[in-house]
Amino acid sequence: METEPHDITKVIYDEMYVAPGEPRVQYRAVYDQITSMEHEDLMLRQQAADQSFLHQGVTFTVYGEDEGTERIFPYDLIPRIVTSDEWATIERGLKQRIYALNLFLHDIYNEGRILADGVVPNELIFTCKHFRREMRGVSVPKDIYVSIVGTDLVRISDGSFAVLEDNLRVPSGVSYMLANRQVMKRVFPKMFANYGVRAIDNYGQVLLSTLRNLAPRRGTEPNIVLLTPGVFNSAYFEHTFLARQMGVELVEGRDLLVHDNIVYTRTTAGLKRVDVIYRRIDDDFIDPLSFRSDTQLGVPGLFNAYRAGNVALANAIGTGIADDKALYAYVPKIIKYYLGEDSILQNIDTYLLDDPGSRNYVLDNLDKLVVKAVGESGGYGMLIGPHSTKAEQEQFRDLILANPRNYIAQPTLALSTAPCLIGREIVSRHVDLRPYVLYGEEITIVPGGLTRVALKEGSLVVNSSQGGGSKDTWVLM
């Protein structure tokens, strides 16, 4: 069947091949290596890699099974390559985007100029469940709201990268990026060395200096802690990993207490003042006195200490407003408004469903579109039209009609594919890319990211909670 060359719903860009059996220049050596190897050898290396993950304890917890069940996040041997030109665009685009979104957050929690000027509609902000009234007028260290970001990019038909989601709350997965690289260097040392891949190992240090930059007290070495919901959280491994990488204490809510608006850790040697908290707990659960009270995870009084300027949080509270999926549609306008620039990375067309015209169009085309709940992440609350049943479509129709503001729709993208070793065969699977952005004294993006793979044939869902895997991502020098 003939397709339009740039129909983003049909034309699939392949990461490795220009045409069947014909790899792109940057993949030549990987292609030669893989195709020249005996199958047994490939399998052995895959096993060695899996073993290595298991032994390092690079695992995530599977819910609903026998307690203590841990799985490794499936890892694919064949690297994903990003050329230095492609990376330069990604880097510029992400810096621009995060810079603008941060200005946006500052604006809506202070003067609200962008609302007054009618660029972003008022209702959109005030109807967002991640908007925190409590944050209005609160002064945030260095005016940095989002210190840590993991933006989801996809490569579309024409080979360019587009932003799929801005994750501005508590993005995860960076430990897999780092662990994948460690394993890759062990499994394919020679090929790796010959390629000229940019290093990512300094992520922990950059993260530490990003956090240190937020410390409210000057002149003393800041006490930085990583706040985890605890061992039952599926990303607990990552929390321990990052705490180790940075050499900071891993704490749970019950290890912290607030007295006279100062936050302390309770240690055997007495109370120790805390300056910066890298929190891996959502806003809702962080302080039962200010937000949800039916939780034991957080720290009573933390928000007041924060508001008093005695402790810094990364990320700030209320950043979820800027990664709301409906707000996403306005990001190009937001960039234009604050920076006077056109967006470098493109957005995916998004239908906002409180507009009756768009809504009718979407309801008529549920079998072709992707519908997402605006405040969800991790691949939950989502309908992928072409892969859905009539019953699922009907269910979403009802959901949309009941609460149009809560959903958006986008065309079903043909995500790019990359070859993966699955079972005994090398087959094509859809991938995305999540680079990790750190906003400290300046914005830094370690050259790499987590390439997530939808392991099921034809599937477009790459989330680890939904059966995804990952690849090492090489950014070339």
Partner 1 sequence: MLSRVAENMYWLSRYLERAEHTSRALNLTLNLILEQRTDEERQWMMRHLMESLFADQLPEGATLYDMTHALAFDRENSASITHCIGRARENARQIREQISSEMWEHLNAMYHRVNQATLDSIWQSQSTHGFFSGVTQGAHLFQGITDSTMSHNEGWYFLQLGRYLERAIYNAHFLDVQFRVLQLSPDYPAIAKDFMKWVGLLKSFTAFESYCKVYSADLRSEQVIEFLLLNAEFPHSIRFSIDNAEQALKAIDRFTETKRAASVTRLIGKLRSDLTFAQIDEVMESTGLSIYLNQLQIECGKVHDAVNRVYISYSVDKALEY
Residues in touch with partner 1 (CB under 8 A): 57, 68, 230-231, 240, 243-244, 249-252, 254-255, 257, 259, 264-271
Which of helix, strand or coil describes residue 382? strand
**Which residue number, 107 or 252, has a Cβ lying nearer to partner 1?**
252
Q: How far is the CB of 8 from partner 1 (least distance, A)?
A: 44
**Which residue number, 249 or 284, has a Cβ lying nearer to partner 1?**
249
Q: How far is the CB of 283 from partner 1 (least distance, A)?
A: 24
Q: Where are the beta strands (DSSP E) in 25-170?
A: 59-61, 70-72, 75-82, 148-150, 152-155, 161-165
**Which residue number, 57 or 189, has a Cβ lying nearer to partner 1?**
57
Q: How far is the CB of 266 from partner 1 (least distance, A)?
A: 5
Given a contact cutoff of 8 angstroms between Cβ atoms, the answer to whether 136 and 108 are in contact is no
Sequential DSSP letters for 417-463? EEEEEETTEEEEEEB-BB-EEEESSSEEE-S--BEEEE-STT-----
CA dihedral 256, 261, 262, 265 (to 10 degrees): -10
Give Cβ neighbours of residue 303 (< 8 Å, ≥ 6 apart).
134, 286, 287, 289, 290, 291, 317
Query: Angle at which helices 203-212 and 236-246 pack, to 10 degrees?
Result: 80
**Which residue number, 16 or 178, has a Cβ lying nearer to partner 1?**
178
What is the spatial distance between Cα 456 and Cα 145, in angstroms, rounded to a whole number?
37
Which of helix, strand or coil describes residue 111? coil
What is the spatial distance between Cα 341 and Cα 4, in angstroms, rounded to a whole number?
30
Q: How far is the CB of 262 from partner 1 (least distance, A)?
A: 10
**Which residue number, 39 or 266, has a Cβ lying nearer to partner 1?**
266
Q: How far is the CB of 180 from partner 1 (least distance, A)?
A: 20
Strand-pairing partners, residue 60, are: 71
Q: How far is the CB of 264 from partner 1 (least distance, A)?
A: 8
**Which residue number, 14 or 275, has a Cβ lying nearer to partner 1?**
275
